Chain A
Amino acid sequence: MHLAELNIAHLRAPIDAPELLAFVDGLQPINELADRAPGFVWRLKEDPNDPRATVQHVYGDHILVNFSIWESLESLWDFVYKTHHLEFLRRRREWFHRMAEPYFVMWWIPEGHIPSLAEAMDRLERLKARGPTPAAFTYKDSYSAEEAANWEAAEAARSATAPTG
């Protein structure tokens, strides 16, 4: 199994505004760092030839979307918090609004599968609605691939035997 993650951020200004220049300038080096990181599998790119192009989507203006796939919880953690990316995170208040609700979600996927952005957004909604479960979780309450598989099997069995109507 692989680990999918989605995180969103509310930009303080339009992406081409001068106050976001330092952020946009960092996109290429940070993305290259991710691409080279041990355990990195895939990330959603707007334009394979333009590292500064952020992902276009229908989920609202000034919302920045990061959507990627990793081999394990550790490999994603080591990239996010144990590389130069941490410096970038420390400056997040300069560029993004504080979020009152969850903005980061992870879930397990079969290797080789790439979920749609709509599914990723749906996982974030699930985290907001139900709190962390093996189908949508955070680092504070994380689940192994095995726990997720068992949980999904149990969910399927429950819904198959659930009374209808």
Chain B
Amino acid sequence: MGDDLSALAHLHDPIRRSLYEFVTNRGTDVDRGEAAEAAGISRTLAAFHLDKLVEAGLLECRFKSPVKKGPGSGRPAKVYRRAAGERLVSLPPRDYAGLASVLADAVDLLGGEEQAEKAARAAGARIGTRSRPRHMLKVLEERGYEPYVEGEEIRLRNCPFHRLAEEHPVLVCSMNLALCQGLLEGLDDDPNRARMAPRPRECCVVFLNK
């Protein structure tokens, strides 16, 4: 808990926050030059802040071998990506994840997947109806899915239910799809824009981009 709080405190600084967001939005390794350019700061300053974010456990870094080999090819470049693991701060302490896990076990025992999907769709519709932004992409961003456009599709870099999905993949992915279809309904959009298209290290739901 204390660790998470001090880690997240590193994002209070606007420069660090913009660097962190740039790296996580890219979804691939980012080098110092790219990050510096994106944040509009010098390479040295970017390196300093990026390394601070690594120290705080928010980013991970590794050395990427230069393309050219042999003398004169220079040092391997340091590249950054989002660290695995989650940070959650809740004051006073609350443990919704623990309860969600138990509830998912209960749904399993009851064979209640279909009802769980129905409930998820209704919840999604409520969220969509009340949502101030009426644009799907905005809503997905707000809800932490980290959407990005890929050709005809909008894919989601982050699964907000990742840890639970690792325990109950079929149930959680199905509920997430139902929730997304509900969201679309609530936004007066076409629920069939959302479908299942799993891919490693990403959310399993994709949206038709139109």
| Interface residues of A, Cβ cutoff 8 Å to B | 78, 80-84, 86-87, 89-90, 92-93, 98, 139-140
Contact = CB atoms under 8 A, between A and B. Distances in A.
A83 B170 contact: no
B167 A90 contact: no
Interface of B: 111, 113, 166-167, 169-170, 173-174, 196-200, 204
Given A86-B173, A90-B174, A81 B198 contact: yes
9 contacts: A80-B169, A81-B170, A82-B198, A82-B199, A82-B204, A86-B204, A90-B170, A90-B173, A93-B111
A86 B200 contact: no
Given A86-B169, A86-B170, A86-B198, 9 more contacts: A80-B169, A81-B170, A81-B198, A82-B200, A90-B174, A92-B170, A93-B111, A98-B111, A139-B166
A84 B173 CA distance: 12
Nearest to B110: A98
Contacts of B197: 84
For the complex of A and B, the 7 pairs showing the least CB-CB separation, nearest first, are A81-B169, A82-B198, A82-B200, A78-B200, A86-B198, A89-B170, A98-B111
B200 A90 contact: no
A81 B167 contact: no
Contacts of B200: 78, 82
A93 B113 contact: yes
A56 B8 CA distance: 56
